[in-house]
Structure 1
Amino acid sequence: PDERHHVTEGGAAPAPADATGSTPAQPLASASVHATLAKLQSQTVHARRSMADLHNALLAQMRADHGPQAALTVKDNDTFDLLNMLYGQIQREVRPDAAAVDLLTRLQVPVARAALSDPAFFVRDQHPARELLNAVAEAGANWLGEEDVDPQLVQKLDRAVEKVVTDYEGDSAVFEAANEEVQQHFRALAHKAELAERRHVEAARGKERLESAKQQAGTSIEQLCADAAPPRFVQSLLKQAWSDVLTLTLLRNGEGSEQWQQRAQETARIAEITCQPPGSAGSDLELGQQVEAALLQVGYHQDEAAAISRRLSTPGGEDESSSRTELTARLRARSRLGEQADGHDPRKAAPLARTAGEEELYKQLRTLPFGTWFEFTTNQQGDVRRQRLSWYSLITDNALFVNPRGQKVAEHSLDALARLMAHGQARIVTEDKSRLIDRAWQATLRTLRSLAGNNTPAEGAA
């Protein structure tokens, strides 16, 4: 039987009778309890998965060593009750498939010994045993998901737990040393994650600059075509080949540069000469050389660049030495500037109209601070995965998500993200800044208050 008592004012109670009422239960002294726990600590954990299982294993071992009357004091029983509730709350936040689950189980005996010998375990935030317990638990909640298992971290945590299980005999310095090793690794991981995330953000910002330049170049050419109305095939060449030239110039030099002013003059000259009737004048050879050189810079082949430059520097855009059909086919087959990186042009497909709810969420997303955490539903069973909104662009509408290790795990448009949220497939997480162990302890206290009608000694102790 598993004897349980309510804590009395003095923290002890008379020895109760056992289940038969014939043999009085004899609470063992603290030294005997710790000796029995030390024996359990040296054993390999098999079926024991909860603090209640450890409690029962302890009672069984005590009775095997000291007789059927052996029991725990009321105070020790209550300590195990609190530990069982605390562990239960911790396990609510730890992924059930995380490597940390086994580590938490292996820590049960040393943690129980620490709590039994030091009542401050429950109320001292920086208690060494709580610190290590929190480190392992938070690893299980945040770092050791199935999609991003970190073998080095698992090894470091395993070594720390093994050190405690092997060395702990009541000295809290064992917990402190093990936790410091883990914290050093966490700091190194955090730095590594920050660097990885920074690289992804810089790449995303590069795409944003490219898209901004593409939009500006496209707007400039659209305005030119509207004002000057060059021949349709010339307009097609301007919107494809020459647009890449303008985009690259903006990217490299900026709108206020001499290079951009030169490109603007060349663009105006292209419109001027191609708007003249065919055969009304000779080609502008200097312009043709400038256009050809610019096209070569953005990756056009020599023959393509020459054919395009002849048409953009000749009245009417005519060129007897090249075929419009062949040139059009070759232009369609080649990738535009920047399309190698993202594989699509976000301007080609306009998003469907948003509902009122989706529009409200879309506006909210465009004001969120970088670093906001989201939870995404991953399957029909409702499993969720946390990802951090590392960065987003109001120009491209693109949002970058990373995992706790700073690795890029997803990209969404803000429009698509708003639709996911509207359908309950994604939600913003209001991040609790407190430590997992502290949240678990507060949840334990709330459970105790509800069970005891807001009147428990644990509440007063906290």
Structure 2
Amino acid sequence: VAQLRSEHGAQAQLGSHDRDNLELLRLLMQQVQQQQRPDPVPAALLARLQVPLARAAMADPGFFVRDEHPARELLNQIAEVGAHWLGDDDVDPQLLQRMAQSVQGLLGEDARAPEVFAAANDDVQQHQRAAAHRAELAERRHVEAARGKERLELARRQANLQIDQCCDAQVPPRFVQTLLRQAWADALTLTRLRHGDDSPQWQERLQQTERIATVTAQAVDAPGGTDTALAAEVEAALVQVGYHAEEAAAVARRLATPGGEDAITSRTELSARLKARVRLGEQAGTIAAAPASTRSNAEEAAYQQLCALPFGSWFDIDDGDGTLRRQRLSWYSLLTGHALLVNPRGQKIADTDLDTLARQISAGRAQLVTEDNGRLVDRAWQSSLDALRALAGGPSREASE
């Protein structure tokens, strides 16, 4: 308007067609902004984009009727970021910087032609694809780590089960049972993890476990004394899981001697050494525990729904501050109930479990993103049209359908 008046006088005005275009753009941006989160970063991008959009809308009426108009494509890219923006954890900073540079580039020239917006949008989409690729790689690493932890946990469970069965059958001394469930369980776990159930190595470990229980369940003064062959085998197995030679030998002597006695190392000394050790896989964390209480009917229904979901399903989850954060259920296990949640950048949000997530769903603190309602800019445009129909006294699209 200022340019018109400088060229044609103070009374110069925009034509009715241009005024209508600007009013339509105002309605559209109003609908877009209603779907944005209250954060100044994406809001500033949208604010700076309004001038280039106004130029495009006035120069090309196709802006409003072409769903794939390059200016609308760029608006949608930036609006989608603002709709889910919760900080750098949710959007790649490099992508955000590229968006800002593209918008600034449009401001630096009298951008009206669709080709100018198409070039800016292609640039943004190229960086968006790169960001998506980085997110995919990061997510894949977290999934592989979660699967590794599950394999470790299942191997540990099987090792503990075998030890419990031997202890129930032979009832070795209490201290021997402690050594079995701590030191020897690590050796069993590693063997099963590396070689599997059907391997001769695993069968050999099971036989050694039975021999340990049989020997140590005997009286202290039983004839034969220490089974030196068994002690050597146990010591070698413990060294494989990281025990120092002296510690491994001390444990092996007790696990291969009737009554579990050892004249060289006292129980107190050996217990202190074992307590100070890091168990196999302990630094990687543990799989989520079983549910603390019985699930209600609603919680059980949510749990069964989760068990049928494909990997990669999206959830909006309240982390406790009332803000819904979009998270992706990248992987879960029906064997352990363990689940992995990542953010849109592929970064791990939490190691959780299906039971906890089911309870969150039942309590309304998490909801499955069940459908794709199309692009944000298209939804905003349809809402703008519905608002105009309401002003004109006509039915909305939903009512007419």
- Using the size of structure 1 for normalisation, the TM-score is 0.79
Aligned match of 1:436:
376
Kindly state the Cα deviation for residue 184 of structure 1 after the two structures are TM-superposed: 0.8
Query: Matches of residues 5-404 of structure 1 in structure 2 within 5 Å?
Result: 36=2, 69-142=11-84, 145=87, 147-148=89-90, 150-280=92-222, 281-342=224-285, 346=288, 351-380=292-321, 382-404=322-344
**How far apart, CA to CA, are the structure 2 residues paired with 1:434 and 1:228?**
66
* Alpha-carbon spacing, 1:413–1:169, altered in 2? closer, same or farther (3 Å): closer
| Runs (5+) with no aligned partner, structure 1 | 1-32, 40-61
Aligned match of 1:418:
358
Between 404-413 and 93-102, the greater mean CA deviation after superposition: 93-102
Task: For 1:446, give the aligned amino acid.
Answer: D
Contact 2:175 2:260 survives alignment (8 Å): yes
Post-superposition CA distance 1:334-390 (Å, at most 9, x none): 222111111x5755x76233333223222222222211111122455x322111111
Kindly state the Cα deviation for residue 187 of structure 1 after the two structures are TM-superposed: 0.9
**How far apart, CA to CA, are the structure 2 residues paired with 1:329 and 1:350?**
33
Post-superposition CA distance 1:111-170 (Å, at most 9, x none): 122222322212211111111111221222346635445332222112211222223343
**How far apart, CA to CA, are the structure 1 residues paired with 2:312 and 2:79?**
22
* Alpha-carbon spacing, 1:330–1:412, altered in 2? closer, same or farther (3 Å): same
**How far apart, CA to CA, are the structure 2 residues paired with 1:379 and 1:264?**
47
Post-superposition CA distance 1:436-458 (Å, at most 9, x none): 2122222223333344343589x
Kindly state the Cα deviation for residue 197 of structure 1 after the two structures are TM-superposed: 0.7
**How far apart, CA to CA, are the structure 2 residues paired with 1:439 and 1:370?**
27
**How far apart, CA to CA, are the structure 2 residues paired with 1:363 and 1:169?**
53
* Alpha-carbon spacing, 1:183–1:440, altered in 2? closer, same or farther (3 Å): same
Contact 2:250 2:265 survives alignment (8 Å): yes
**How far apart, CA to CA, are the structure 2 residues paired with 1:335 and 1:122?**
64
| Runs (5+) with no aligned partner, structure 2 | none
2:345 pairs, out of 405, 418, 440, with 405
Post-superposition CA distance 1:164-216 (Å, at most 9, x none): 22233432211111111111111111111111110111111111111111111
Contact 1:248 1:298 survives alignment (8 Å): yes
Q: Per the alignment, in what secondary structure is the counterpart of residue 151 of structure 2? A: helix
Q: Per the alignment, in what secondary structure is the counterpart of residue 99 of structure 1? A: helix
Task: For 2:132, give the aligned amino acid.
Answer: A
* Alpha-carbon spacing, 1:169–1:301, altered in 2? closer, same or farther (3 Å): closer
* Alpha-carbon spacing, 1:116–1:346, altered in 2? closer, same or farther (3 Å): closer
**How far apart, CA to CA, are the structure 1 residues paired with 2:64 and 2:360?**
41
Between 135-144 and 185-194, the greater mean CA deviation after superposition: 135-144
Q: Per the alignment, in what secondary structure is the counterpart of residue 221 of structure 2? A: coil
- Using the size of structure 2 for normalisation, the TM-score is 0.90
**How far apart, CA to CA, are the structure 1 residues paired with 2:10 and 2:319?**
51
Between 353-362 and 176-185, the greater mean CA deviation after superposition: 353-362
Between 279-288 and 88-97, the greater mean CA deviation after superposition: 88-97
Between 148-157 and 294-303, the greater mean CA deviation after superposition: 148-157
**How far apart, CA to CA, are the structure 1 residues paired with 2:133 and 2:179?**
48
**How far apart, CA to CA, are the structure 2 residues paired with 1:177 and 1:386?**
30
Contact 1:373 1:428 survives alignment (8 Å): yes
Q: Per the alignment, in what secondary structure is the counterpart of residue 170 of structure 1? A: coil
Aligned match of 1:449:
389
Kindly state the Cα deviation for residue 431 of structure 1 after the two structures are TM-superposed: 4.0
**How far apart, CA to CA, are the structure 2 residues paired with 1:192 and 1:70?**
53
Contact 1:95 1:145 survives alignment (8 Å): no
Task: For 2:60, give the aligned amino acid.
Answer: D
Contact 1:157 1:182 survives alignment (8 Å): yes
Post-superposition CA distance 1:405-460 (Å, at most 9, x none): 11112222222222222322222222425222122222223333344343589x99
**How far apart, CA to CA, are the structure 1 residues paired with 2:287 and 2:374?**
43
**How far apart, CA to CA, are the structure 1 residues paired with 2:178 and 2:196?**
25
Q: How many residues align?
A: 398
Between 181-190 and 131-140, the greater mean CA deviation after superposition: 131-140
Kindly state the Cα deviation for residue 255 of structure 1 after the two structures are TM-superposed: 1.3
Task: For 1:386, give the aligned amino acid.
Answer: R
**How far apart, CA to CA, are the structure 2 residues paired with 1:431 and 1:403?**
18
Report the structure number with the largest CA radius of gyration: 1
Contact 1:210 1:251 survives alignment (8 Å): yes
Q: Per the alignment, in what secondary structure is the counterpart of residue 220 of structure 2? A: coil
Between 248-257 and 297-306, the greater mean CA deviation after superposition: 297-306
Contact 1:98 1:144 survives alignment (8 Å): no
Q: Per the alignment, in what secondary structure is the counterpart of residue 336 of structure 2? A: coil
**How far apart, CA to CA, are the structure 2 residues paired with 1:393 and 1:98?**
39
Q: Per the alignment, in what secondary structure is the counterpart of residue 282 of structure 1? A: coil
Percent sequence identity over aligned pairs: 57
Task: For 1:402, give the aligned amino acid.
Answer: V
Aligned match of 1:44:
none
**How far apart, CA to CA, are the structure 2 residues paired with 1:256 and 1:379?**
46
